[in-house]
Structure formats: structure tokens, C-alpha cells
Structure 1
Amino acid sequence: MKKFNNKLAIVTGGNSGIGYATAKELIAEGAKVIITGRRKEAVEKAAEELGAIPFVADQANLDDIDLLKNEIENQYGKVDILFINAGITGGLIPIENMTAENFDNVMNINFRGAYFTLNKLIPLLNDGASVVFLSSIVATTYHPNNSVYQASKAALNSIAKTAAAELAPRKIRVNMVSPGPTKTEIMNKAGLNEEKLKGINEWMIDAIPLKKIGTAEDVAKLVVYLSDDNVASFMTGTEIVIDGGMVL
């Protein structure tokens, strides 16, 4: 008997990186998993590889979230595990040069979209369900040129803790996973060239006591742990840092 047999899980941004790895782990444990993403071809390809159910949705678009809610309600019923994972870093820009476009892109996906994904799916959550937000160690760091991304994750942590308090009467647990440097495509999407990426990777490895960068699978296993009632039933409003000791 697998731990998530007969459970429905939603993974936003599930077509790559941490979302993909988490969907894979959840399916391996018996869950039926719906993955979302903005690019139809990528979502459908990932779903086929994983054995997941694809749904094309942009977390920044509230109409898409409504469509997702309606699809779940009409086709699948109640949700047991919700992993709000989709996010972007945006450009590395100092505050002085920040554009409204970059600000809105990051905040609309990382904060506003995450907030309203939870907002709209709460009625579909089973009592005793698990919600996990993908945050980041940057929520409590203040590195130059990264103000909007850092602020978006700090805001995410704030609402996650409030949601944990609000949903506790229904025994719905809300937790945060905050990775440090992790091997995913997110930095490539920030528009950095190969030389800059190499330099950042070397700097990060040097700054991490365990002298390695984490993997998407490391984070996925932690999300699965938090989603398991048998081992994490007394955990809510908790942020777990998984960073190789970087913020020590």
C-alpha cells in the first residue's frame, strides 16, 4: 500500500525542475497528480513522461486559475495535496533601474498568482489536506540587484503562515520549503549567459558548507515528507530550509 493511494495532488509549474521532480515522487507514492504550466507542449510532454494529468495554466492569470478550479471540481473532486511551486527569478536589476514590467512579472507569478491559487482552491481542499509553498532562502536575504524576487518570497512566507493559522481548524497544514542553490532551469531563464552562470555556480559552491548544489530531487523528497500525514501531521506554518548550510 503506497502512502498516497487514492489521493489527488496538484503541482503548479510541474513540467520542469522542482515541480517535475515532486510530481514524479508523488506518483511513485501512489498519488494521482495534475501538473500545470504555461507552455502547452512542455506540460503535455512532461505529463506523458510522468503519468500525470496535464493542465495548461499560467499562475499569473486568475482566469486560468478559475479554469483549473472548475476542471478539478468537475472531473476529479477534492484535493489532498497542493504544491504551489511555479515561480520566476526575473532580471537581476538594481532598485534604481527596476522596471514596472519586471516587477509585475515576478510579483504576478510568485506572489499574486500563488496567493490566488490558494484562495481559489481552498474550497476544494479536503479536511486534513497538505499545502506546501515553494519559497527560497532569499526570503530572508538582501543581496543587491535581487530586490523583487527576494520580496516576492518574503511575501509568500507571510501569507503561508497566515493560511496555516486560518486553515488549522480544518486540520489543513500549510508549510514552506526554502531551497538554497538548486540545479534547475530557473537561472537559465533569468537571461544569464553561460560564463555568468558558471561564475555564479562556482561562487555558490564556495559559499555552501557542504560544497555542492542541491538537486530538484532533494527538494521533492522534502515536499513529499511534508505532505505525508503519518510523519508530518503536527507540522504547520513551518519553513524548512534546504540549502547545504548556506545561511549558517
Structure 2
Amino acid sequence: MDRYKGKKVVIIGGTSGIGLATAKMLLDGGARVLVTGRSQAGLDSAQEEIGKDAIVVSSDARSLADLDALADRAKAEFGTLDLLFVNAGFSLFAPLEQTTEATFDEMFNLNAKGPFFAVQKLSPLITDGGSIVLTTSTANVKGMPLLAAYGGAKAALRNFARMFAAELLPRGIRVNAVSPGPTDTPIAGKSMPDKDLEAQVTAQLREANPMKRFGTAEELATAVLFLAFDATFITGLELPVDGGWSQL
């Protein structure tokens, strides 16, 4: 299938979950794709899964030096970009009284500061008429215990989508956000290393969701690609893909 033939894409946070599912769909459609991740195990696994046609790069989404190097690499590989998908992020669960400065900084560095500078440094490569998609979260619109720092960072990112959309409008670059609800990805294990707690929270979230299930990475990837290439008269939008979690 050649739906995305000739498209050049960078996915920040593309070695697992939603980012990896998006990369697979793009590659299947004929796009050229560069994905980033931090852990060597994740990088190796992603390269094996998506094959030699994809470019897999070690890059810390929190590091401005790494983002500079990523922009240089993307320019060298592709020249210009049609899509920048800023997907890196994760949550740490902590009650308000137990949220440390380190936890707060980690949440904002990865979920707000990093994406801000990723767009600053890579948007000059995006061709006029191209697209940026950010991954936010339903935690930015729902009052969710244990996620204050994470939700606040994602709320900042949602506002960045509006501001970037306005600023890049003269170049015809659309900026939108996809907002996942509970989604079946490896991030749950990272944010909740206690397996008993993970099972308990997972069951509660599934029961609380109007559709009584988690979303899949592929369902989120489909929404990302809709915003990226099909939603040609949409910019500044946050699209919830959450089984009605934030709406009902």
C-alpha cells in the first residue's frame, strides 16, 4: 500500500506502544520513518520489529542537546519532514503529599519542556503544509488522584498545541494533539512497577471507562494519522481517543 509513499516522518518516543504502532502503519504505507527512544533494549527491539527500512535513533526527549542532534540527523536523512509526532512521555503515580520536587521536575521535563523544544528545533524542517501531532492525555481535563504533576504537564502541552498552531499557521503547518485515555501499552508497567497495584488500578480504570475496556495502540495510531494527513481543515484540536472516558 502506498498511502504514505514519499512522506518523511520523525516520531519522538517511537520504540514502543502508540509510537511504534504509528511507525508500523506509516512504513506499511510507504513512508520513510525515524523513531527515537532511550533504552538500548527498546531501541534494539524496535529495530528488529520494524525492520531495516526504519531509522532508530537513541535520543533523550528531555535533553536539548539530544534534540539538537536529532534535528541534525533528521535533516541529514530526510532534508525536510512531512510529520513530527511528539509522543514521548509517561506518568508517575504519587499522592500530593508524597510528590517530590524530583518527581515534579521529571513530569514537566518529559511531558512539557521536552515537547516544547522538540517543536522549536524540528519545526524548521517541516515542509509548508506539513503537520505536528502531540500526545497529551485525558489526565489534563479530568481530576485524577495521584496524577497531579503529570496532569499539569499534559495540560501545559495541550495549551502548547494551540499556541504552536497559531504561530505556525502562516506556513500552513497544522498542529493537533491526540489525547489517549487508558490504553494497553507498556507504559503502565513503567509507571506502576508494583504488579499488584498495576492489576488493581487497571481493573478500576477498565470498569470506570464507558466502553469497559482499554484502547489499543493501533486505535491511537489511526487517530494520529488522521490528524496528521487527513484532517486538512483542523488545527489546534485535541482529539480524545478514550472510549468516552473524558466525555461521558
Matches of 2:87 and 2:143, distance apart in 1: 22
1:87 paired residue number: 89
Contact map agreement 1:11 1:36 (CA 8 A) in 2: yes
- 194-203 vs 107-116, greater mean Cα deviation: 194-203
Kindly provide the CA deviation profile for residues 196-223 of structure 1, in whole angstroms up to 9, marking residues without a partner as x: 1111121112111211110111000111
Are residues 1:240 and 2:235 paired? no
Contact map agreement 2:165 2:236 (CA 8 A) in 1: yes
* SS of 1:187 mapped into structure 2: helix
1:47 to partner: Cα distance: 2.3
Structure 2, unaligned stretches of length 5 or more? Answer: none
Q: Which amino acid aligns with 1:46?
A: A
Matches of 2:141 and 2:83, distance apart in 1: 26
Q: Which amino acid aligns with 2:167?
A: E
2:9 paired residue number: 9
- 41-50 vs 179-188, greater mean Cα deviation: 41-50
Contact map agreement 1:35 1:47 (CA 8 A) in 2: no
Kindly provide the CA deviation profile for residues 68-121 of structure 1, in whole angstroms up to 9, marking residues without a partner as x: 01111123200101110000102x222222211111111111110011000001
Matches of 1:169 and 1:222, distance apart in 2: 25
Matches of 1:195 and 1:80, distance apart in 2: 43
Q: How does 1:54-93 map to 2 (within 5 A)?
A: 54-90=56-92, 92-93=93-94
Matches of 1:48 and 1:130, distance apart in 2: 28
Kindly provide the CA deviation profile for residues 214-233 of structure 1, in whole angstroms up to 9, marking residues without a partner as x: 011100011111111xx311
1:140 paired residue number: 141
Structure 1, unaligned stretches of length 5 or more? Answer: none
1:195 to partner: Cα distance: 1.7
Query: Compared with structure 1, are the counterparts of its residues 45 and 201 closer, same or farther at alpha carbon in structure 2 (3 Å cutoff)?
Result: closer
- 67-76 vs 187-196, greater mean Cα deviation: 187-196
Are residues 1:49 and 2:49 paired? yes
TM-score w.r.t. structure 1 length? 0.95
Aligned alpha-carbon RMSD (Å): 1.2
- 134-143 vs 43-52, greater mean Cα deviation: 43-52
Contact map agreement 2:192 2:198 (CA 8 A) in 1: no
Q: Which amino acid aligns with 1:238?
A: L
Contact map agreement 1:14 1:43 (CA 8 A) in 2: no
1:30 paired residue number: 30
Matches of 1:178 and 1:225, distance apart in 2: 13
TM-score w.r.t. structure 2 length? 0.95
Matches of 1:35 and 1:97, distance apart in 2: 34
Matches of 1:135 and 1:233, distance apart in 2: 20
Are residues 1:126 and 2:111 paired? no
1:159 to partner: Cα distance: 0.6
Q: Which amino acid aligns with 1:40?
A: Q
